[in-house]
């Protein structure tokens, strides 16, 4: 029986990756953000899983906007870092785990989730920045193979928060059903509150963000009950990315232990949050 050992929720703001790539993490405007990451990174460095699952959204770099799947999974042996118009980030390509991916795909399909399947996929900052938050100096390779799960948060109608939480619960069951004793880390990415265009461009809602950081640990059902309109109204048009955190949380046990959390508004129009959880009890039957 395999198990999730930790869950990491983190923003995937592209400028965070750029600050790391350009050696700007100690500059005054960035230092508080990266200092907030330090305890989580130290804890994670001692708990490398056998495989990780990363829940993210593409930004029209790996997938054409003409076809946007609601949910998708990658089954490739390797995922190339996308060139988003200013050159590839100087980070390693991502090694996949096809056998584990196919197991998850099979189980999720049987559990009622019809995923689009990518046998080839380039991954953009939505994927690589969270990996850098986890592992700032990967050198030639990330700590373990990674399975991408993609969620549509850019084209209306996005999946509901409740559906994302249910996907996470199904994902947890699928992980538990994988043969052997593999350990799994799962990352939920995106958010926190932000809006990049329109009359509310630059909108950030710290009150909602802090409520979310508390509820994602103690009361995820409260967050799953919010409508997509609730998320857009309270967290901005791009703040709906937070529904991807619920996939991560749903895959974990009902009770978790918060290892560390952090919140900062860096040099961008995006509130950046981080929450790291450890599973603490046996998964209940669902």
Pair 92, 141: CB distance under 8 Å: yes
Helices then strands, counting H and E runs in the chain, come out as: 9, 10
- Residue of 194, 210, 260, 264 marked active site: 194
Of the candidates 150, 232, 151, the residue with the CA atom closest to the CA atom of residue 195? 232
* Rounded distance between C-alpha atoms, residue 57 and residue 16, angstroms: 16
Backbone phi, then psi, for 191, in 5-degree steps?
65, -175
- The residue whose two tokens read 């048009």 is 237
Pair 145, 97: CB distance under 8 Å: yes
Of the candidates 111, 94, 106, the residue with the CA atom closest to the CA atom of residue 54? 94
Residue 200 tokens read as 């509310």
For the chain, the maximum distance between any two Cα atoms, rounded to a whole number of angstroms, is 52
Pair 182, 50: CB distance under 8 Å: yes
CA 175, distance to chain mean position in Å, is 17
* Rounded distance between C-alpha atoms, residue 175 and residue 184, angstroms: 8
- Residue of 125, 210, 260, 264 marked active site: 125
Check if 103 is active-site.
Answer: no
Check if 125 is active-site.
Answer: yes
Going by the DSSP 8-state scheme, the letter that residue 119 receives in this structure is: S
Known catalytic residues are 125, 194
């Amino acid at each position: 029986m395999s198990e999730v050992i930790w869950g990491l929720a983190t923003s995937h703001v592209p400028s965070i990756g750029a600050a790391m790539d350009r050696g700007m993490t100690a500059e005054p405007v960035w230092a508080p953000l990266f200092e907030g990451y330090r305890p989580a990174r130290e804890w994670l460095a001692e708990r490398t899983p056998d495989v990780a699952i990363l829940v993210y959204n593409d930004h029209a770099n790996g997938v054409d906007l003409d076809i946007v799947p609601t949910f998708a999974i990658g089954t490739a042996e390797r995922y190339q870092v996308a060139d988003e118009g200013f050159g590839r980030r100087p980070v390693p390509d991502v090694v996949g785990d096809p056998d584990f991916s196919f197991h998850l795909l099979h189980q999720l399909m049987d559990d009622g989730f019809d995923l689009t399947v990518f046998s080839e996929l380039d991954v953009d900052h939505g994927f690589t920045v969270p990996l850098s938050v986890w592992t700032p100096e990967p050198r030639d390779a990330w700590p373990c193979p990674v399975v991408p799960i993609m969620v549509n948060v850019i084209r209306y109608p996005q999946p509901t928060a409740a559906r994302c939480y249910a996907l996470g619960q199904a994902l947890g069951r699928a992980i538990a059903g994988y043969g052997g004793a593999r350990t799994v880390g799962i990352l939920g990415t995106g958010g926190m509150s932000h809006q990049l265009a329109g009359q509310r461009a630059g909108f950030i809602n710290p009150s909602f963000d802090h409520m979310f950081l508390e509820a994602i640990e103690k009361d995820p059902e409260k967050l799953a009950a919010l409508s997509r309109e609730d998320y857009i109204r309270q967290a901005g048009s791009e703040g709906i990315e937070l529904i991807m955190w619920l996939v991560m949380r749903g895959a974990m046990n009902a009770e978790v232990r918060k290892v560390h959390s952090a919140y900062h508004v860096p040099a961008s129009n995006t509130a950046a949050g981080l929450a790291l959880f450890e599973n603490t009890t046996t998964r209940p039957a669902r």
